[in-house]
Structure 1
Amino acid sequence: MPRKKVSDRKIYVLDTNILLHEPFAFLSFKEHDVVVPMTVLEELDHIKDSKKDVSRDARISIRAMEDALHDATPEQIIEGVTLEGLGSGQAAPTGRLSIYADYNMSKANSVFTSNENDNRIINAALYLQSHKAPRQVVLVTKDINMRLKAKGAGMVNVEDYRTDQLISDIKYLSRGYHEFPGRFWDKIKSVESRSEGRDTIHTVERSVLPEAYINEYFIDEEREFAGMVEGMDDKHLDILDLGFERMMSRNAWGITPKNIGQAMALHALLDPHIDLVILTGPAGSGKTLLALAAALEMVIEDKLYDKIIVTRSTPEIAESIGFLPGTEEEKMMPWLAAITDSLEALHKHDVNSHSSMNYIMEKANIQFKSINFMRGRSIQNSFVLLDECQNLTASQLKTIITRCGQGTKIVCSGNLAQIDSNYLSPLTSGLTYLVEKFKDFSGSATISLDGVVRSRLAEYAEQVL
């Protein structure tokens, strides 16, 4: 491909939050040039030594830029150093990376006169916009308020960083199941059925649902059919007949599903062939209770796993569990109250619920662990409950999931409407990445739970607040 003319190549000015969210983001702009203002480097330097969860990402980004610029002279860094050879494939960068010394800008060249970091970055972008014409200059930031300020100050092109987004809108996130209008069998023109032990498998044409993926559940509006995609090829789908009534009558540790979403979730949780179960949905939809009930059933009754490991992101976004007294497990107890609440709910009818809980926690070998100490571990033959995943990045989730060894099942649950991180959105949450990246993995299943079953008060609050 011929190299584009200089005037056709855009100049992207990156905000700090872009490099914190994706440390190698400066390599994602193909043939276009990338400018990093000096203020951004100052912010990265301040953050890399902090105790924030993004400090590691700041260090990675600084090292990556140093690797790209280490042989360049000061003049070359100002003018721009080629990024060719730092990537592979069609998306490999061919543009240039430069550092812009925005501290040297005079007040005459500045729209904002206050010394705030965001204002200096916007001033730098505005200066480049006026002095690099006719080349298009684009300010890239994940900060909505900064985008508004930049546009108000005269910045023509302001964008969010979308290279990291697998879907354009959260409404397109896979739900883990497909609901057919009317009756399922009215949509089927031809079918071949066979029995494998106690299971019945229907082979239908792929045209029934061309975009189906492995372990996707099928239900119909009439609530007469329930099945799951067990296999597929270019022309056919193999659907395991689960039976609507049979799914609704499943039981785990005294818990039966209250709706079809919970029934599908319970089926995936109790299936030993599924190593990863992803549960999304609003607060009160039963994610934690179902996962814990299935864990107790499979550890104590079925003896498929040796222990239950429970962890979650803490309010500091998995960075610190503070100076609470006690052992690691005692420190984690305040953050894992949802698990103990669910244990109480499962044993509320026992004569002595407190004694029952203590007995079950010892019998099931329930361990409460901090997410900080997952790196470097190898978790064998365990049932892992990872709660509040919406606050984790894709790299944090990768760290945890890659710790899972032989015979381990992991359940990742979260509510994308309750993200606490300043650096994540529903589109860039690690939970969203997990759902989309594992869609076609035969060892995983995703269920989006609808409806709040905690109480009518909680259900009404979810709808109107």
Structure 2
Amino acid sequence: MSEAHTKIYILDTNILLHEPFAFLNFQEHDVYIPMTVLEELDAIKDRKKDVSRDARIAIRALEEALQDAPPEDIVQGVSIAKYSADHSSTGNLAIFPDHLLNQELVTLPGPENDNHIINAALHLQKEKSPRQVVLVTKDINMRLKAKGAGLERVEDYKTDQLISDIKYLSTGYVEVEGEFWESVTNCDSQTSGRETVHTVAREVLPQTVFINQYVFDQNHHFAGKVVEHDSANVRLKDLGYERMMGRTAWGISPKNFHQAMALDSLLDTNIDLTLLTGPAGSGKTLLALAAALEMVVEKGIYEKIIVTRNTPEIAESIGFLPGTEEEKMAPWLGAINDALDFLHRHDECRDSSMRYIMEKANIQFKSVNFMRGRSIQKSVVILDECQNMTSQQLKTIITRAGEGTKLICCGNLAQIDSNYLSPLTSGLTYIVERFKDFEGSATVHIAGVMRSRLASFAENNL
């Protein structure tokens, strides 16, 4: 593609913090990094926060891409086609010296770094015309300021967004209208032991099919799970609606069929990764803990339970809390303690029962910041509130899972606390889409609020 048809993308600092290798994802287009961005990365890299790691990775990646280029080439642009990382980018990478801009050409005055970056984009828009110059930032207010200052193209970073709208996010199940068997003309059923698998035509199901996707009808006469599919046929394992509703784990039984699907995936040892999404009060954490206790204490399939979560304040607040790592984490994992307390609410001596079970199940509270480098074997790992994590943070946790480990990720995309994440850019959304056709994972969106009628009304009306 000729230079006239390629674009110039100017990256804000938050793009490189969100994804340190983002400059490699613009294909044949050129990428400019303003000097102000490098200064911000330099200020962030030494902070005692999790984001400092991403800043250091971004700095090292930029240095590796530009290390052999002379200064004059760095300003004009250096081809990154030969960069050692796997990518398809053929454009140029340049460092733009925005601090040298003539003050007479500055549109937005003031010492703010955002203004310096916007001024650099405006200067390039005028200098490089008719080429399109695009400022890429996750800062909504900065996008508004840039448009108000006269910048024609301002965008969010969407390379890691696998869906265009959260309504298209996989729920992990498909509901067939009417009765399932009325739409089936040909069926080949095979029974082995207690399991029955039906092979039906692909046209029977109304939408895209994935491995471990649940299928049920409105009349509650059929419930199954996809075990194999191709362009012509789908093989469904018959689970039985009543059987699924009758399953229990640690004294807990499902209150609706969505919880029954979640419980089935949690108790299935062939599924290494269970992703539970849904509103507050739908039972995600309670079901995860009940299933974990059932598989560790009652069945002895796993050896321990590791509970962890991410909150925006952990990295800077956990240090001053008293006690060991697990004691420091206790305030952040109140939901787990509440669920454990609920599971033993009928015991005569509830406190003693909880202490006994925590020791028997070897329940460990761990900070997500200390999970890197570990290899977790024969454990159930419950990752709560993971809607606040980026895709890279979740990758760090998922890759810790060793042999015989089951990972349970719970999250509510309507309760994102991070300033830099949205439902579309959350790591939970990313892994739901990435793992939706992986034979070792299952996703279930638990609809309905079971906590109380007050919580249900608040979820639907506030």
Q: Classify the TM-score, shorter chain.
A: over 0.9
Query: For each residue in 1:22-80, what CA deviation from the matched residue of structure 2 results, as whole angstroms up to 9, or x when unmatched?
Result: 11111111111111111111111111111232211111111111111122222111111
Q: Does 1:356 align with 2:353?
A: yes
Aligned to 1:438: 435
1:87–1:93 CA contact under 8 A, matched in 2: no
Aligned to 1:460: 457
Aligned to 1:66: 63
Instruction: With the length of structure 2 as denominator, give the TM-score of the two structures.
Output: 0.97
The separation in 1 between residues aligned to 2:348 and 2:84, in whole angstroms, is 64
The separation in 2 between residues aligned to 1:175 and 1:319, in whole angstroms, is 34
The number of aligned residues is 461
Post-superposition, which runs of at least 4 consecutive aligned residues in structure 1 deviate over 6 A? none
Query: For each residue in 1:286-315, what CA deviation from the matched residue of structure 2 results, as whole angstroms up to 9, or x when unmatched?
Result: 000001111111111111111111111133
Aligned to 2:101: 105
Alignment of 1:178-197 (within 5 A): 178-197=174-193
Pairing partner for 2:264 from 264, 267, 271: 267
Query: For each residue in 1:265-306, what CA deviation from the matched residue of structure 2 results, as whole angstroms up to 9, or x when unmatched?
Result: 001111111111110111110000001111111111111111
Aligned to 2:30: 33
Secondary structure of 1:212's aligned partner:
coil
Aligned to 1:416: 413
1:319–1:372 CA contact under 8 A, matched in 2: no
The separation in 1 between residues aligned to 2:459 and 2:336, in whole angstroms, is 21
Alignment of 1:155-194 (within 5 A): 155-194=151-190
Aligned to 2:311: 314
1:314–1:320 CA contact under 8 A, matched in 2: no
The separation in 2 between residues aligned to 1:318 and 1:415, in whole angstroms, is 21
The separation in 2 between residues aligned to 1:314 and 1:149, in whole angstroms, is 30
2:11–2:137 CA contact under 8 A, matched in 1: yes
Q: Which range moves more in the overlay, 286-295 or 106-115?
A: 106-115
1:299–1:307 CA contact under 8 A, matched in 2: yes
2:176–2:217 CA contact under 8 A, matched in 1: yes
Following superposition, the deviation at residue 208 of structure 1 comes to 2.1
2:32–2:95 CA contact under 8 A, matched in 1: yes
Pairing partner for 2:287 from 290, 299, 311: 290
Following superposition, the deviation at residue 427 of structure 1 comes to 1.4
Secondary structure of 2:318's aligned partner:
coil
Cα 1:177–1:432 shift into 2, 3 Å: same
The separation in 2 between residues aligned to 1:453 and 1:300, in whole angstroms, is 26
Amino acid at match of 1:267: D
Secondary structure of 2:331's aligned partner:
coil
Following superposition, the deviation at residue 11 of structure 1 comes to 0.9
The separation in 2 between residues aligned to 1:419 and 1:252, in whole angstroms, is 29
The separation in 2 between residues aligned to 1:6 and 1:397, in whole angstroms, is 38
Alignment of 1:80-99 (within 5 A): 80-86=77-83, 92-99=88-95
The separation in 1 between residues aligned to 2:314 and 2:150, in whole angstroms, is 36
2:48–2:315 CA contact under 8 A, matched in 1: no
Amino acid at match of 2:394: L
1:317–1:421 CA contact under 8 A, matched in 2: no
Following superposition, the deviation at residue 389 of structure 1 comes to 0.8
Aligned to 1:448: 445
Cα 1:318–1:232 shift into 2, 3 Å: farther
Aligned to 1:77: 74
The separation in 1 between residues aligned to 2:2 and 2:234, in whole angstroms, is 49
Aligned to 1:428: 425
1:12–1:32 CA contact under 8 A, matched in 2: yes
Secondary structure of 1:189's aligned partner:
coil
Secondary structure of 2:23's aligned partner:
helix
Cα 1:317–1:328 shift into 2, 3 Å: closer
The separation in 1 between residues aligned to 2:6 and 2:134, in whole angstroms, is 11
Alignment of 1:304-343 (within 5 A): 304-316=301-313, 321-343=318-340
Secondary structure of 1:333's aligned partner:
helix
Amino acid at match of 1:191: C
Following superposition, the deviation at residue 319 of structure 1 comes to 6.3
Q: Which runs of 5+ in 2 are unaligned?
A: none
2:212–2:442 CA contact under 8 A, matched in 1: yes
Q: Which runs of 5+ in 1 are unaligned?
A: none
1:183–1:221 CA contact under 8 A, matched in 2: yes
The separation in 2 between residues aligned to 1:295 and 1:9, in whole angstroms, is 53
The separation in 2 between residues aligned to 1:318 and 1:407, in whole angstroms, is 29
The separation in 2 between residues aligned to 1:181 and 1:318, in whole angstroms, is 48
Query: For each residue in 1:174-209, what CA deviation from the matched residue of structure 2 results, as whole angstroms up to 9, or x when unmatched?
Result: 100001111111221211112111112111012223
Aligned to 2:275: 278
Query: For each residue in 1:412-459, what CA deviation from the matched residue of structure 2 results, as whole angstroms up to 9, or x when unmatched?
Result: 111111111222221121111211111121111110111111011111
Q: Provide the identity percentage.
A: 67
Following superposition, the deviation at residue 107 of structure 1 comes to 2.4
2:225–2:237 CA contact under 8 A, matched in 1: yes
Instruction: With the length of structure 1 as denominator, give the TM-score of the two structures.
Output: 0.96
Pairing partner for 1:405 from 402, 405, 420: 402
1:378–1:404 CA contact under 8 A, matched in 2: yes
Pairing partner for 1:53 from 50, 55, 63: 50
Following superposition, the deviation at residue 150 of structure 1 comes to 0.7
Give the root-mean-square deviation of aligned CA atoms: 1.5
Pairing partner for 1:240 from 228, 237, 240: 237
Secondary structure of 2:338's aligned partner:
helix
The separation in 2 between residues aligned to 1:42 and 1:182, in whole angstroms, is 61
Amino acid at match of 2:290: A
Aligned to 2:341: 344
Aligned to 2:133: 137
The separation in 1 between residues aligned to 2:365 and 2:226, in whole angstroms, is 35
Amino acid at match of 1:372: N
2:391–2:428 CA contact under 8 A, matched in 1: yes
Aligned to 1:227: 224
The separation in 2 between residues aligned to 1:460 and 1:391, in whole angstroms, is 25
The separation in 2 between residues aligned to 1:319 and 1:263, in whole angstroms, is 39
Following superposition, the deviation at residue 322 of structure 1 comes to 2.1
Secondary structure of 1:61's aligned partner:
helix
Query: For each residue in 1:350-378, what CA deviation from the matched residue of structure 2 results, as whole angstroms up to 9, or x when unmatched?
Result: 11111111111111111111112211222
Following superposition, the deviation at residue 320 of structure 1 comes to 5.6
